[in-house]
């Protein structure tokens, strides 16, 4: 029983200590996507490897492209605000691409 509690404490401490660190996926670091679910402005914060063209795409649950925009980044951090109030309710997938690197996150729109 003591071993189980110790392992549980280690897992919880590891999760809490890692929560502020960006999560990386193919050299694109995800920092924040909030609020999720959203009914208005969706805030997106990611860090990228180098200042190059970075694209942001939003795909709806039917697989249709809902939003697409490219950014020329001069800094390693992208902070974007997207108004999703006109999006129909449902699940969406966000793709952030930099050259051949891609980060994928899901979010929900509610009204």
36: helix, strand or coil:
coil
Contacts for 95 with CB less than 8 Å, ≥ 6 apart: 55, 56, 57, 58, 59, 102, 103, 104
Q: Give a yes or no: residue 5 inside a domain.
A: no
**Which region holds residue 84: left if phi is over 0, alpha if psi is between -120 and 50, else beta?**
alpha
pLDDT the model gives residue 13: 35
Q: How far apart are CA 37 and CA 42, in angstroms?
A: 9
- CA 26 vs. chain centroid, Å, equals 13
User: pLDDT (tens digit, 0 to 9) for every residue of the chain, 111 residues total?
Assistant: 434 333 333 333 333 334 444 455 555 666 789 999 999 999 988 876 667 788 899 999 999 999 999 987 777 777 888 999 999 999 999 998 887 778 899 999 998
Indicate which CATH number applies to the domain containing 69.
2.60.40.2550
Q: Give a yes or no: residue 16 inside a domain.
A: no
Task: Determine the structural domain holding residue 85 and report its residue range.
Answer: 23-109
Q: Give a yes or no: residue 75 inside a domain.
A: yes
Q: Give a yes or no: residue 77 inside a domain.
A: yes
How many domains, the chain? Answer: 1
pLDDT the model gives residue 27: 54
- Output the CA–CA distances (angstroms, integers) from residue 11 to 2, 22, 23, 24, 25, in the order listed: 14, 18, 17, 20, 22
pLDDT the model gives residue 51: 72
pLDDT the model gives residue 64: 96
pLDDT the model gives residue 107: 96
Backbone angles phi and psi of 11, in degrees to 5 = -65, -45
Inter-residue contact 49 to 9 (CB < 8 Å): no
């Amino acid at each position: 029983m003591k071993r189980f509690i110790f392992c549980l404490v280690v897992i919880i401490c590891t999760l809490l200590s890692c929560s502020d660190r960006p999560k990386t996926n193919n050299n694109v670091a995800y920092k924040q996507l909030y609020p999720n679910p959203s009914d208005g402005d969706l805030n997106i914060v990611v860090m990228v490897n180098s200042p190059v063209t970075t694209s942001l795409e939003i795909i709806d649950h039917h697989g249709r492209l809902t939003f697409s925009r490219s950014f020329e980044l001069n800094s390693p951090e992208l902070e974007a605000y997207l108004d999703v109030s006109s999006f129909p309710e449902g699940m969406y997938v966000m793709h952030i691409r930099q050259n051949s690197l891609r980060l994928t996150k899901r979010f929900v729109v509610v009204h």
